[in-house]
Amino acid sequence: MEQDPDDVSNIHSRFSLTLVNPSSHYFSLVVSLIVSSVMVLATYFGYLTNVSFEQNWYRLPLVLGVLFITQLLDTRFSKKKELSKSLHSSLFGNMLWTVTILMGILSSIVLSKEIELFFIVFGVLLFASFRIGIYTTTLGASLKKAWAICFIQPLAMYLVLIPQDMWFSILSEPIGLAYGISFMIIASIWSVLTDRAGRPGMESTHKTIQAYLASQGNDFEDAEELMEQRSNETKVTTSQLRLSSPNGETEFRMVLPEIHPGPYHPVGGSNIPYLIYKNLSSSAMVMHSISDHSLNLPSRNEVENYLKKIQDSKIKEEGLQCTEPVTVQINKARVIGLLFGNNPLLFLSLSPHGMEDIPSYMKTEIEQYAKNRNYSRTMIVDCHNAMGEEISKEDGEDMLKAAKSCLDTLITKENYPIEFGYANSDDMDVWTEDLGMGGLGIVCLVINNKKYFLGWADANNMENGVREKIIDNFSKLDYNLLEICTSDTHYAPVKARNRNGYYQLGLITSADKLSKWFLEIARNAESDTKSAKFEILENEASVKVMGHEIYEDYSKALDNSLKITKAFVIGGVLFFITSLFL
C-alpha cells in the first residue's frame, strides 16, 4: 500500500504550531515579569482602590520574586526538568490572569457598573486551569499530579499580591470560584480527550507531543523509541555509480539510497546523506532517490545498522564508456540522462517550478519501460531542486514522457571513454544556515572531449529559480553545468522558525554567492580529471523503516486534537464573555 502524501503534508503544515512559543526562554522571563507587573498595578488601581498602593508598593517586587522562584520550582515537577518550558508556560498563564483582570476593568467601564472583585480569584483559577492543560500535554505530568501542583504559582503570587486581611474574602467570591472551577474541570476534560485523540493507532497523543518537544532540545531518545516501536523491517536497495582512476587511488561515488532522509532533525536518519558521505571518504554525492517519508529510518540504531550493511555492496556491472548527456524538456518537466554501458542514469526535475518527492509509481513505470528496452539497471535521481507541492497529474505525465523519450534517445547515442574529476567544499569556508554538513560538491565528466558538470548540495531542497541563476552564471563562463541536485537532508544547522522548519538552499545564501562557491569547486574538479572506469554497485539491506501507517496515525491525532481544541476554545471564550456581564 502506498503512503498517502497528504498525511505527511498535513503533519508538516502543523509545524507552525510549534512556533507559538517564544524563541528564547529569556524573552519569556522578561515578558512574564512585565505582564505580572501590569497585573499587580491593574489590581491595585482598578480593584483595590481603597487600599493605598504607596503603602503596598513592596508587593510588586514580592510578586515578581515569587514568580521567579516558582518558575524555578516548576522545573522540579516537569518530566525533563526544563527551565525553558517552565518559563514559557508561566508567561502564557500570567497573560491569562492579566487579561482576566483587565477585561473585568474594561467591562465595568463599558457597562457602567461597579468593578467586581471576583475577577481576581477567577484569574487565579484560570491560570491554574491553564497549568493543568500545559502540564498534562507538554510537561509529562499525570492529571492527578497536574491538579496537585496547578495552584503553586498562581496561589503563591496571590498571597503576596493581596493584603492578608483580604485573602479569604476575595478567594471566597462565589461567582469567581464557580467560573474558575468550571474552567479547571473544562481543562481536565480537554486534556483527557486530546490525549485519546489518536486512538486506537496512537495510545497517547500527549506522550508523542512530549517526545517531539524533547527532541527539539536534542533529547531524541523518547521520540526514536516511539517511532522504532511502530516501524517495520523491510528490504531496501542502495545503488552506487563508482568512478575510479586506473590505479584506484582516486574515486568518486554517486549514491542512490532507497531510504529517505528524515523524519526530522535530529531524529533517526535526518542527517543520513552526510553520514553516508563521510563513510565514503567525503568523495561522494548522496542523491535523493525516488523515495518518500515512509522509508525514513526511525532511530540512530537503525542508521548505524544501515551504514554497516552498505559497506558490503557488490559490483553488478563495470565498463569504460558512457554517452554524452541527453536533455529532454516537455513543458515544465525536464529529464537529463547519461548511459553508462547499458545502465541509464536519469535526473528528474521540474525546476524552477518545483514539486514534492516524486511518487513511487513513476519510478516503477520508468524502470519497467527501461526493462522493456533491454536496459540493465536504471538509476533515477529526484533532483529535489525547487520548492513545490505534490506533483500534478499533468506534470507527472509530462515527466514520464520526458523520461521515456530520454531512454529512447540514449539507445541511439555513441559511447565514449570517460574522464572524471571531483572536488568539494570541505576545505572552503562555506558554512551557512541553508546548507547541511556535507557542503557542496561538483563532478566534472569529460566525454568526447567535452566537459560536463554536475553539482550537488547537502541541503533540504532549493529556493525556486536559484538553480537557473547558477547555471546561467556558469554558462557565461562557458561551463556546462547540467544539473544541481540536493540531498534533501533533514539536518538543520540552526532551528528555523518558519512554516517549513528549515531553510532551503538559496533562501539565506544568494545565488551569486553560491555560484562563486560552485565555480571554485568546478575549477578544482576540472583541473584534476583522470580517465575512469565505472562500476555499478548494489546492496540490499534489511532495516526498520517507519512505513505509512505511523503518519496516518499522527495526522489523525493532530486533526482530532485540533478539532477538540477549537471547540473547547470557542466554548471557553463564550463562557468567559458571560462573566463580563455579571
Same domain, 138 and 236: no
- Pairwise CA distance, residues 361 & 367, whole Å: 10
Going by pLDDT thresholds of 50, 70 and 90, the confidence category of residue 20 is: low
Backbone angles phi, psi at 399, to 5 degrees: -65, -40
Note the pLDDT of residue 18: 66
Across 145-152, average pLDDT:
94
In 350-397, the DSSP E strands lie at: 379-382
Residue 149: its pLDDT value, please?
Answer: 92
Mean pLDDT, residues 172-181: 96
C-alpha gyration radius of the chain: 30
Report DSSP state, residue 220: -
Give the span between the Cα atoms of 565 and 561, in whole angstroms. Answer: 6
Q: Do 500 and 398 belong to one domain?
A: yes
Q: What pLDDT score does 13 carry?
A: 67
Rounded to the nearest 10°, the torsion over CA 255, 256, 260, 262 is: 20
Among residues of the chain, what percentage have pLDDT more than 90? 83
Q: Which three cell numbers stand for residue 278?
A: 563521510
Grid cell locating 394: 499533468
pLDDT of residue 484: 98
Residues 110 and 242 in one domain: no
Which of 581, 579, 580 lies closest to 183 in space, CA to CA?
579
Rounded CA gap, 205 and 564, in Å?
A: 13
Write out the three cell numbers for 494: 540552526
Q: Would the pLDDT of 517 be above 90?
A: yes
Domain annotation covers residue 210: no
pTM score: 0.90
Beta bridge partners of 238: 257, 539
Q: Say if residues 547 and 231 touch (Cβ distance below 8 Å).
A: yes
CA dist 231 and 543 (Å) reads: 9
According to the model, what pLDDT value does residue 282 have? Answer: 95
Distance separating alpha carbons of residues 350 and 330, to the nearest angstrom: 10
Asked if residue 535 belongs to a domain, the reply is yes
Given this model, what pLDDT does residue 275 score? 97
Give pLDDT, residue 3: 41
Do residues 334 and 426 share a domain?
yes
Measured CA distances, 334 to 248, 395, 447 (Å):
34, 10, 21
- Give the containing element (helix H, strand E) for 388: none
What span, in angstroms and rounded, lies between the C-alpha atoms of 240 and 421? 17
pLDDT 10s digits, 474-502? 999 999 999 999 999 999 888 887 778 89
Answer whether residue 5 shows pLDDT above 60: no
For residue 214, what pLDDT is reported? 85
User: In this structure, is residue 276 part of a structural domain?
Assistant: yes
Same domain (yes/no): 483, 573: no
pLDDT band at 177 (very low <50, low <70, confident <90, very high): very high
pLDDT band per the 50, 70, 90 thresholds, residue 181: very high
**Cell numbers representing residue 200 in the block:** 486506537
Cis peptide bond N-terminal to 246, omega within 30? no
Facing residues of 541 across strands? 236
Res 190: pLDDT: 97
Do residue 406 and residue 366 come from a single domain?
A: yes
pLDDT tens for each residue of 271-329 = 999 999 999 999 999 999 999 999 999 999 999 999 998 888 999 999 999 999 999 99
DSSP codes joined into one string, 238-302? EEEEEEE-TTSS-EEEEEEESSB-BSSTTSTBTTHHHHHHHHTTT-EEE---S--GGGB--SHHH
Dihedral of the alpha carbons of 513, 515, 520, 526, in degrees to the nearest 10: 170
pLDDT value, residue 6:
66
Mode of pairing for the β-strands spanning 415-424 and 440-447: antiparallel
Write out the residue range of the structural domain in which residue 486 sits. 232-545
Q: What is the DSSP pairing of strand 379-382 with strand 343-349?
A: parallel
Domain count, the chain: 2
The number of angstroms, rounded, from the C-alpha of 176 to the middle of its chain's C-alpha atoms is 43
Q: Is residue 362 part of a domain?
A: yes
Residue 477 burial class via C-beta count within 10 angstroms: exposed 0-12, middle 13-18, buried 19 and up: exposed
Mean pLDDT of 75-97: 87
Query: Is the confidence at residue 24, as pLDDT, over 90?
Result: no
Same-domain pairing of 155 and 260: no
Q: Measure the CA–CA gap between 455 and 289, rounded to whole angstroms.
A: 16
Query: Grid coordinates in use for 93?
Result: 498563564
pLDDT at 405: 98
Same-domain pairing of 146 and 265: no
Would you state the torsion angle of the CA atoms of residues 148, 150, 156, 159, taken in this order, to the nearest 10 degrees? -90
C-alpha cell at 309: 550493511
Look at residue 1 in the predicted model and tell me its pLDDT: 35
| Contacts with 24 (C-beta within 8 Å, 6 or more apart), sequence order | none
Which range, of 16-25, 287-296, 429-438, 464-473, averages the lowest pLDDT?
Answer: 16-25
Q: Is the pLDDT of residue 366 over 70?
A: yes
Higher per-residue confidence, 143 vs 81: 143
Is 354 strand, coil or helix?
coil
In a domain, 151, yes or no: yes
Query: Is the per-residue pLDDT at 4 higher than 50?
Result: no
Q: pLDDT band for position 576 (50/70/90)?
A: very high
Does a structural domain hold residue 220?
A: no
439's grid cell: 557542503
Question: Where does the pLDDT of residue 537 fall: very low under 50, low under 70, confident under 90, or very high at 90 and above?
Answer: very high
Residue at 569 is within a domain: yes
Same-domain pairing of 495 and 570: no
Mean pLDDT of the chain: 93
Crossing angle (nearest 10°) for helices 174-195 and 205-215: 80
State residue 501's pLDDT score. Answer: 83
Check whether residue 349 and residue 320 sit in a common domain.
yes
**Residue 466 scores a pLDDT above 60:** yes
| 383-397 per-position pLDDT tens digit | 999 999 999 999 999
Question: Is the peptide bond between 266 and the residue preceding it cis, with omega within 30 degrees of 0?
Answer: yes
DSSP state of 16: G
Q: What's the one-letter identity of residue 59?
A: R
Q: Are 242 and 534 in contact (CB under 8 A)?
A: yes
CB contact set of 542 (below 8 Å; sequence gap of 6+)? 233, 234, 235, 309
* Helix, strand, coil % in the chain, rounded to nearest 5: 50, 20, 30
The helix-helix angle for 205-215 and 118-137 (nearest 10°) equals: 80
In a domain? residue 221: no
Q: What is the pLDDT of residue 83?
A: 82
> For residue 2, what pLDDT is reported?
41
Residues listed for the chain: 582
Secondary structure in 3-state letters for 36-86: HHHHHHHHHHHHCCCCCCCCCCCHHHHHHHHHHHHHHHHHHHCCCCCHHHH
Same domain, 326 and 419: yes
For residue 515, pLDDT beyond 90? yes
- Gap between the Cα atoms of 132 and 230, Å rounded: 29
Q: Label residue 248 by pLDDT band (50, 70, 90).
A: confident
180 and 256 belong to one structural domain? no
Residue whose grid cell is 508561566: 90
Tell me the DSSP string of 160-196. HHS-GGGHHHHHT-HHHHHHHHHHHHHHHHHHHHHHT
461, 480 contact by CB (below 8 A): no
